[in-house]
Amino acid sequence: MKRLPMLINGKWVGDQNDEWLAVFNPSSGEKIAEIVNGHEEHVDEAVKAAQLAFDSKEWRSVKPYERGHLLVRLANHLRENKTEWAEMESQDVGKPISQALGDIEAAARYFEFYGGAADKVMGETIPIEDGLLNVTVLEPLGVTAHIIPWNYPIQIMARSVAAAIATGNAVIVKSAEDTPLTAHALSEWFAESGLPKGIFQHLTGLGSTVGAALSGHPGISHVTFTGSVSTGIQVMCTAAKNVVSTTLELGGKSPNIVFSDAPEEKAIEGVVKAIIQNAGQTCSAGSRVLIEESYKEAFLKKLVKRFNELSIGPGHSDPDIGPILNKRQYEQIMEKIEEAKKDGSIIAGGNAVTVEGYENAYYIQPTIIDGLSHDSAIAQQEIFGPILSVFSFSTVEEAIQLANGTDYGLVSGIWTQNIDTAHYVASKMQSGQVFINNYGAAGGIQMPFGGYKKSGIGREKGFVALRNYTQIKNIAIQFSN
């Protein structure tokens, strides 16, 4: 067990006089670290340091391609030490080690991708009239805040931090109090990277205190937040008081639509992986499956069999499904399962699991629920656990109506070998990403990611995310013969 200080203005902040919060390994319930319970004064100190660093000649003299080189160097570091980083992420979040290794590779790809893009963020010339040269310039915003969730800390931190640094901003990361390990390790790397102090800083503590103070600080130019709808609304309202833009990724209730001509084995594996990834604690989890009525019985029979074969255990043993993050999350999920037993039918799983030697942790069987009304709370609300709700449809239009029939619109999966059906349904989906005969597309580093409706505002990943961290300046130059 070790204490992890914050990184503020190039210095490690945290001493015996500070309040410290415990960090636990979800796989075992064991205390593995302590973090500083930060407060508003820490936020103010970090923002002021970031402003000075952003305005400094030292930072302005760093060329775009040099920022890119630094990010690529970090990508190489992650790959060269992937086992160590994956073990850290698995210990912190509880996820299976193979999934954690995938997260480290994804983080490396983000730093690599945006490192390569750093010197390719360009404006344009706009024709106006003879004698007038009009150009646009993309400039960094200034100080950007990155409020990171607990379920994919290294991935989600990498995708926004890399884009922000690539475009020349100063970055302040607020890690989740439950999962700070890889954020701290990244801070250690940046502290030794040669960046001007204050360009990368890391704050810890409660979201209600540090996160709120950060999103509402007048020195912040943009807030990137991933988390719940309710907290996202608070972040947006707080930032709006300073007329500050936000990128919000707020979860989903994503459907997989399975037609009778689906490629069966691919569809089964796709549906399974979409809901068990990180024990279902995933914003883009495929938590609903809509099956064509004539195919429902046959498909469900194989799906239930596959669910019953899944292994459950601590992350380091690399099971199919790891633990639930903590007691609070576990109790919320089990409450939803108990509701389902009254309103529907549990056809797979539905129970808590005790793993020998890990009795202080929280494990839940992957669960399939049939017979629910699509208007029920369980069918409409994000559960954030390995819980799959099943529905059926008779026509393409009914499938579309059901798929779009929630407040969310993050991801949709379509499984059919009919190209006309696939394209038509995709055109009608109210979701930011649509996958046909796959779900996730290897992480989709280059693919814009974000949601319709209450799934959020803005897009991350890909080149489009660079615009989150830049502003446009128009320059008109008049000249004469």
Burial bucket for residue 61 (CB in 10 Å: 0-12, 13-18, 19+): exposed
Beta strands in 371-469 (DSSP E): 387-393, 408-409, 411-415, 433-436, 452-453, 456-457
Residue 353 forms beta bridges with which residues?
363
Cα separation, 210 vs 38, whole angstroms: 6
Cα separation, 206 vs 263, whole angstroms: 46
| Phi, psi (rounded to 5 degrees) for 192 | -105, 5
**Active-site annotation holder among 249, 292, 382, 460:** 249
Residue 312 forms beta bridges with which residues?
321
Cα separation, 128 vs 430, whole angstroms: 38
Cα separation, 102 vs 105, whole angstroms: 5
Q: Where do the H-state alpha helices sit in 141-211?
A: 153-166, 181-191
Q: What single letter denotes the amino acid at residue 134?
A: N
Q: What single letter denotes the amino acid at residue 345?
A: S
**Does residue 249 have an active-site annotation?**
yes
Q: What's the farthest any 2 CA atoms get from each other in the chain? A: 85
Cα separation, 450 vs 193, whole angstroms: 31
Cα separation, 216 vs 219, whole angstroms: 9
Q: How far is CA 178 from CA 29, 175, 446, in A?
A: 12, 8, 29
Return the half-sphere exposure (C-beta side, CA atoms, 13 A cut-off) of residue 374.
18
**Which residues participate in catalysis according to the annotation?**
249
